[in-house]
Chains A and B, each alone.
Chain A
Amino acid sequence: MMMDFSHETVVWAAKTFGLIYLVIFSMAVVAYAFWPSRQKEFHDASAAILKQEDRPWR
């Protein structure tokens, strides 16, 4: 599998790549959640489950 790499290389890749990945991922998530135009979608979604109709849309 990845037996050809030395342990140090793999550890280094894990430590750097993982960190960058974490930061980028977090920023993407925050951007998605706070994007202004999505506010209505989120608001509607949270209110939608409280609607009364207990039957599927057809």
Chain B
Amino acid sequence: MFKLHYRLERRAIGMTLGIIAAASIGGFVEIAPLFTIHQTVEAAPDMRVYTPLELAGRNIYIREGCYACHSQMIRTLRDEVERYGHYSLAVESKYDHPMLWGSKRTGPDIARLGGKYSDEWHVRHLLNPRDVVPVSIMPAYGWLMENDLRTDDLSDQLTAQRVVGVPYTPDMIRNAADDAYGQANPDSSRAKGVKTRYGEETNIRSFAGAPGRLTEMDALVAYLQILGHLTDAASRDTVAKDLE
């Protein structure tokens, strides 16, 4: 009796192992090579990390589910390149934990949105899209202007980003909250360190047009304005891919 029981049980386990064997191989074959892919990804020595304010903006982008309607991945197709700009390179999202390539374009792709519109346009558009684009079906995001940006956990956020591989320096981590405030308040004393830490090209201005405050709107607009501008790799890329 005991032996029979053992045999029956073993068959259920055998099936379990079979399922695992069958199911794991595909993922192994498909995904394993991606962990060596850094050897083939384009080099981008000029690539900079997100500032704390931009990272906070990115978190808001995630929180509001923007990725459900906007992709950030321009495919290697002629019409996409003409409509949105140079196709997306793998390196451009190498600091994106998680990636936000998206899967649906209810609205347009925004991989290279940065710098296309003014901050003021973005603020008006986010407060009520139909004020600037009458036929838009995008939701209005009124609360972004009302909510003060949470900055007390930004140092922790940068630390966690560093753990997953984004090269934030201890200096950046220590000053995260101040840098976030300073980037949106150029006249404040806290603005000075931002360019030292994140580079001369960093946008430092009052994104939401409400100086003295730091709102979620500042963060989101700062993020939208950097999209496609963390590296120049795409504009330097001269190897023309065959576009279909």
Contacts and interface: CB of A to CB of B under 8 A. Distances in A.
Indicate whether A and B are direct neighbours in the complex (CB within 8 Å): yes
Interface of A: 1-3, 5-7, 10-11, 14-15, 17-18, 21-22, 25
A2 B29 contact: no
Contact of A6 (B21, B28, B36): B36
B22 interface: yes
B39 interface: yes
B193 to A, nearest CB: 34
A35 to B, nearest CB: 15
B112 to A, nearest CB: 28
B35 A3 contact: yes
Interface residues of B, number: 14
B22 A25 contact: yes
A14 B33 CA distance: 8
A11 B31 CA distance: 10
A11 B25 contact: no
Nearest to A32: B18
A18 B25 contact: yes
Given A18-B25, A21-B25, A25-B22, A7 B32 contact: no
10 contacts: A1-B35, A2-B36, A3-B35, A3-B36, A6-B36, A10-B33, A10-B35, A15-B29, A18-B26, A21-B25
B215 to A, nearest CB: 42
Residue among A2, A6, A7, A25 having the largest count of chain B Cβ atoms under 10 Å: A7
Contacts of A7: 33, 36-37, 39-40
Interface in B9-43: 21-22, 25-26, 28-30, 32-33, 35-37, 39-40
Contacts of B36: 2-3, 5-7, 10
A17 B28 CA distance: 11
Residue among B26, B30, B33, B39 having the largest count of chain A Cβ atoms under 10 Å: B33
B143 to A, nearest CB: 42
